[in-house]
Amino acid sequence: MARMIARGLGSGAMAWQRLLPLTGGTLLLLLGLFCAWQAWLIASESGGVAQVHAAQDTAVHALATEIAGERKQVAQAVASLDPAALQGDRAQLATALRARLPQALDVEIYSASLDEVLHANYRTFGYAKAAQLMAAQTGDGASPVQTVVADGRRRLSVVQPLGPVQRPLGWVWVELPFTPLQRRFESIAPGGGRIDLRQGDDRGELSLLSRGAPSAEAEEDAKPVPGSSFSVRAALPAAFILLPRVWPLAGLLALLGIGGGVYLLWLRGRLSVRQEIQPEETMVSDVIPAKPQPAPPVVRPATTMPPAASPADAVDPSIFRAYDVRGVVGKTLTAQVARLLGQSIGTLMREKGLNEIVVGRDGRLSGPELAGALSDGLREAGIDVIDVGAVPTPVVYFAAYRFNTGSGVAVTGSHNPPDYNGFKIVVGGETLSEGAIQDLYRRIASGALEAGGQGGLRHVDVVPDYIERITSDVQAERRLKVVVDCGNGIPGAVAPQVLEGIGCDVVPLYCEVDGTFPNHHPDPSDPHNLEDLIHAVRQTGADLGVAFDGDGDRLGVVTREGEIIYPDRLLMLFARDVLSRQPGATIIYDVKCTGHLKGQVLEAGGSPLMWRTGHSLIKAKMRETQAELAGEMSGHFFFKERWFGFDDGIYAGARLLEILAGDLEGRTPEQIFATCPKGVSTPELKIELVEGEHYRFIEKFREKAGFGDATLTTIDGVRADWPDGWGLVRASNTTPVLVLRFDADNAAALKRIQQAFREQLFLVDPGLKLPF
């Protein structure tokens, strides 16, 4: 028996002797081949980077040469004019210049003082054109060459002084074809990378041309093109490199791996030969039958192993809310949860035949990790991700239109405390809410998730396009001074540029993005958060103050006198403006808005429609009714007219300033707001209850409450309207609270309505602690 055991042990040892060199040799050989591949990639990348940078330098030189040639022709043509004629008719001078510049698409001459430019309507004259002319006047007479768009086509624009540079007698504006510059740029091959031609600076950069691989990773810094406002940015070829980018080191590792692997495989062959020629020892048990042995007893384990944890065990279902997914970072919301959510969204997209999505994040500290994990989950499901970085939520929505994905996720905690974060989700043009959000959880809980995909990832800066899209359409007719309070939220990176771009003087307040929100909470619906803004408007003598929430989709407004203009009154102004161009259009507002709003919409020729509170619910109703405008008491505004229909606090702020600055009677903002009727009202009042109890309370309240001759609306809670005011109680869909609001023509009516609600609330729960 002992010899049998020894024989078995000996056989096992010999098997291991043969197996270990085979396994180790194979692994080392594979590792060596991998390192050889990495060395080749590193060497190729190094050559590719050098090729891209060489193409960048070539493009800068070629474009600078082309621009210098164009400017020289213009300067020579201007210098060839008879100095005695410089005081003559401008039209004749322009005609003479056209004869000398046959390639010019347009030639215009302006006075030395540029008075006609300073007083022009920039919406028709051209904001960029005016800026270039004034830059020449304040500089050395030769402002940088740039591009403008005329008749839908891009052109080069050149400004040249008439007469001596020190004391010009006028200014020549010449528009030239952009095509020669474009041909020069497109003739340059950047190898495996990409070069991009840009115009402007970091605050308002515009993409003009791109040449090369779309997936290449753009460098931070661009090289300026002398004599112009252009720059050329290099985008380097992206290679899957895991080793340090030193090809001799990778080559050495490859040699060691391949050499070691070959040696171990050779050693394994030698061992096999020796074992084959060694005679096998004969055991007694081989020739004498062994006596039968009793079967060993069956030993059963005392406990069984628990089943593997399912994905649902890592996800708290309470984070799946009515309008979004939201939780506390590190507790109910982790990177694992974000990854599973990404897989769930990606699975839904695959079912709908969608394959690309935009992902962006606000300024919270947890944003990068959660957005990265979400993108990993989406890519695991086979979805290509366009990462637009740290941007306001409306910029994510804009990017979904800009890149024609129809889908986007904003990683944002909105106006919640710093330790919260969440996800606002759009799939196929639909903002997910209620049942659609619960469906995402059910997919995770059941494990019905797409996996094994290899979705792509590219990083895109879409903010310049967003700013240009707004400022090219919205303009303030006169300069207003406005204090902009971003509460250290992500709108601080975008909103001041937008409002400056439409022609306002901006005084920034708390515009530095800081996810800890050190100054005040970024929630303009709370009057306490507007105190610093009111003080800043008074101290600076500004015309107005605007505030944005943490992710930029809500707007708050205060006047110079310190009055808070509530969103339902702002919606009156917006409705009048939209209806002046879209008569008869549907205007949607939520159940928390003033009763005066309906009459104002009707008076302006529109069709008013009250609907449920919630940005996703409002957007769904807009699509259903083809409404041109919608708004909520929380400060969400949705412009379909001239915009895309999503809620955008920054765009709403620009439209408000356009209305106030364009008043034909020259009234102050206070005088304009005074035309919007208001009564005596309360802010949102809240009663905290246990999670889920607020929904049950509303059901009981609907059954028991009676308000006599009042008109009842029950689409979202219970709203009772009388001729002189109204009251509302509804269940919040974001937190376990009852939300109440009251509005009346006078204090006596407000008190009467509150008493009626007090009596009905106590019928359901006599122990309620009422905030009024």
Q: Which two tokens stand for residue 275?
A: 């074992």
Q: Is 142 exposed, middle or buried (0-12, 13-18, 19+ CB in 10 A)?
A: middle
Count CB-CB contacts under 10 A for residue 584. Answer: 9
**SS3 per residue for 554-592:** CEEEEECCCCEECHHHHHHHHHHHHHHHCCCCEEEEECC
Evaluate if residue 735 carries a pLDDT over 50.
yes
What are 411-453's pLDDT values in tens digits?
Answer: 999 988 899 999 999 999 999 988 999 999 999 999 999 999 9
Residue tagged active-site, from 636, 694, 730, 741: 636
What H or E segment, with its residue span, contains residue 464?
helix 463-471
| CA 721 and chain centroid, separation | 39
What are 351-404's pLDDT values in tens digits?
Answer: 999 999 999 999 999 999 999 999 999 999 999 999 999 999 999 999 999 999
Measured between alpha carbons, how far is 598 from 321 in angstroms, rounded to an integer?
A: 30
Instruction: Judge whether 764 and 751 are in contact, CB under 8 Å.
Output: no
Residue tagged active-site, from 326, 339, 379, 443: 326
Closest CA relative to residue 362, chosen from 217, 470, 522: 522
Q: What is the dihedral of CA 766, 768, 769, 770, to 10 degrees?
A: -90
What are 196-252's pLDDT values in tens digits?
Answer: 898 875 444 677 888 887 767 778 788 999 989 899 988 877 655 666 666 577 667
Order across the sheet with 106-111: list the strands.
Answer: 106-111, 170-177, 153-162, 146-150
Measured between alpha carbons, how far is 35 from 412 in angstroms, rounded to an integer?
A: 41
Cα end-to-end distance, the chain, whole Å: 92
Instruction: Judge whether 145 and 71 are in contact, CB under 8 Å.
Output: yes
| CA 485 and chain centroid, separation | 20
Mean pLDDT to the nearest integer, 316-332: 92
Task: Say what the pLDDT of residue 239 is.
Answer: 58
Reduced to 3 states (helix: H, G, I; strand: E, B; else coil), residue 327 is: strand
Q: Which two tokens stand for residue 468?
A: 């240009």
Q: In the annotation, is 414 catalytic?
A: yes
Q: Which two tokens stand for residue 474?
A: 């919205």
* Confidence tier at 37 by pLDDT (50, 70, 90): low
Q: Which residues pair with 359 in a beta bridge?
A: 387, 409
Please, what sign has the CA dihedral across residues 243, 244, 245, 251?
A: negative
Task: Say what the pLDDT of residue 425 is.
Answer: 97
Task: Say what the pLDDT of residue 149 is.
Answer: 80
Q: Which of 92-96, 133-137, 183-187, 703-707 reaches the highest mean pLDDT?
A: 703-707
Task: Say what the pLDDT of residue 739 is.
Answer: 94
Measured between alpha carbons, how far is 97 from 77 in angstroms, rounded to an integer?
A: 6
Locus of tokens 């197996």: 19
Locus of tokens 């306490």: 528
Instruction: Judge whether 350 and 383 are in contact, CB under 8 Å.
Output: yes
Task: Say what the pLDDT of residue 407 is.
Answer: 98
DSSP assignment, residue 178? S
DSSP assignment, residue 616? H
Closest CA relative to residue 389, chosen from 488, 494, 484, 471: 494
Task: Say what the pLDDT of residue 684 is.
Answer: 85
- Kind of pairing, strands 586-590 and 607-611? parallel
* Proportion of the chain above pLDDT 90, given as a percent: 58
Mean pLDDT to the nearest integer, 510-522: 96
* Proportion of the chain above pLDDT 70, given as a percent: 84
Measured between alpha carbons, how far is 233 from 765 in angstroms, rounded to an integer?
A: 66
Reduced to 3 states (helix: H, G, I; strand: E, B; else coil), residue 728 is: strand
The CB-based long-range contact list for 93-98 (8 Å cut-off, 24+ gap) reads 93/162, 93/170, 97/172, 97/174
What are 240-286's pLDDT values in tens digits?
Answer: 566 666 657 766 776 777 777 676 666 665 554 444 434 333 333 33
Count CB-CB contacts under 10 A for residue 583. Answer: 10
Instruction: Judge whether 611 and 623 are in contact, CB under 8 Å.
Output: no
Task: Say what the pLDDT of residue 21 is.
Answer: 65
- Kind of pairing, strands 356-361 and 408-411? parallel
In residues, how long is the chain? Answer: 772
Residue 644: partners with Cβ closer than 8 Å, 6 or more residues away: 397, 398, 401
Strand ranges (E), 152-218: 153-162, 170-177, 194-199, 206-212, 217-218
Evaluate if residue 697 carries a pLDDT over 70.
yes
Task: Say what the pLDDT of residue 143 is.
Answer: 78
What are 651-691's pLDDT values in tens digits?
Answer: 999 999 999 999 989 999 999 999 999 989 988 899 999 98
Task: Say what the pLDDT of residue 289 is.
Answer: 38
Task: Say what the pLDDT of residue 445 is.
Answer: 95
Task: Say what the pLDDT of residue 292 is.
Answer: 40
- What does the mean pLDDT of the chain come to? 86
Task: Say what the pLDDT of residue 85 is.
Answer: 59
Q: In the annotation, is 636 catalytic?
A: yes
Mean pLDDT to the nearest integer, 319-329: 92
Measured between alpha carbons, how far is 550 from 515 in angstroms, rounded to an integer?
A: 9
Count CB-CB contacts under 10 A for residue 711. Answer: 12
Radius of gyration for the alpha carbons in the chain, expressed in angstroms and rounded: 35
Measured between alpha carbons, how far is 116 from 133 in angstroms, rounded to an integer?
A: 11
Count CB-CB contacts under 10 A for residue 141. Answer: 17
Residue tagged active-site, from 210, 414, 616, 732: 414
User: Rounded to whole angstroms, what are the CA distances from 240 to 34, 44, 158, 237?
Assistant: 12, 12, 45, 10
Q: Which two tokens stand for residue 190?
A: 């950047």
The string of DSSP codes covering 223-285 is EE-TTBSEEEEEEEPP----S-S-HHHHHHHHHHHHHHHHHHHHHHHHHHHHHHHSPPPPPGG
Residue 321: partners with Cβ closer than 8 Å, 6 or more residues away: 422, 437, 733, 734
Q: Is 235 exposed, middle or buried (0-12, 13-18, 19+ CB in 10 A)?
A: buried
User: Rounded to whole angstroms, what are the CA distances from 417 to 49, 245, 371, 412, 515?
Assistant: 44, 42, 18, 11, 10
Evaluate if residue 299 carries a pLDDT over 70.
no
Measured between alpha carbons, how far is 525 from 385 in angstroms, rounded to an integer?
A: 33
Strand ranges (E), 355-504: 356-361, 384-390, 408-411, 420-427, 430-431, 457-459, 481-485
Q: Which two tokens stand for residue 246?
A: 């030193």
